[in-house]
């Protein structure tokens, strides 16, 4: 689990600028954490949670580890099962699920590295074969 610099935030105690770092990991679910240590008053803060973190954290993870695409190698009932699992996990509407079904032969969703690992674990537990590809490899 690598720590990624999210950017500058404000110390909850003294209000001075602090450097916020965060990380994301797929291990029996999708988890994130964030922390800072205030260089001015010494205050240490740690936060964590489950699921998709707030946008500024995700942007930092995407910058650090790249943007990843999930591919599903399934047909018939396995493909239906994959859609059902993704719909529940990503909170998709029926329309969004329909769009996802239309993309089943390509990249179904573009997410962070930990998120794609999490989706692969989730689908893999139900026997759905998946792979991941890095979508922004050209940019380092």
Interface residue list for Zn ion (CB under 5 A):
11, 13-14, 38, 40-41, 43
CB of 35 to Zn ion, least distance (A): 13
Nearest to 111 by CA among 55, 73, 49: 55
CB of 46 to Zn ion, least distance (A): 15
Please give the Cα distance from 69 to 51 (Å, whole number): 18
CB of 49 to Zn ion, least distance (A): 23
Contact 17, 9 (CB under 8 A): yes
Listed in sequence order, the DSSP H helices in 21-129 are 55-65, 76-90, 94-102, 113-125
Is the CB of 40 or the CB of 99 nearer to Zn ion?
40
Is the CB of 13 or the CB of 96 nearer to Zn ion?
13
Which residue is listed with tokens 């910058």?
63
Is the CB of 21 or the CB of 74 nearer to Zn ion?
21
């Amino acid at each position: 689990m690598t720590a990624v610099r999210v950017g500058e935030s404000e110390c909850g105690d003294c209000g001075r600028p602090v450097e916020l770092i965060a990380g994301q990991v797929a291990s029996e679910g999708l988890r994130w954490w964030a922390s800072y240590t205030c260089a001015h008053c010494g205050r240490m803060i740690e936060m964590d949670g489950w699921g998709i973190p707030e946008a500024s954290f995700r942007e930092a993870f995407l910058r650090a580890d790249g943007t990843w695409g999930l591919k599903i190698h399934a047909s018939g009932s396995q493909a239906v099962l994959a859609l059902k699992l993704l719909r529940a996990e990503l909170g998709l509407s029926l329309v969004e699920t329909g769009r996802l079904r239309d993309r089943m032969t390509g990249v179904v969703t573009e997410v962070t590295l930990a998120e794609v690992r999490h989706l692969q674990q989730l689908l893999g537990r139900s026997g759905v074969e998946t792979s991941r590809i890095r979508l922004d490899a050209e940019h380092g």
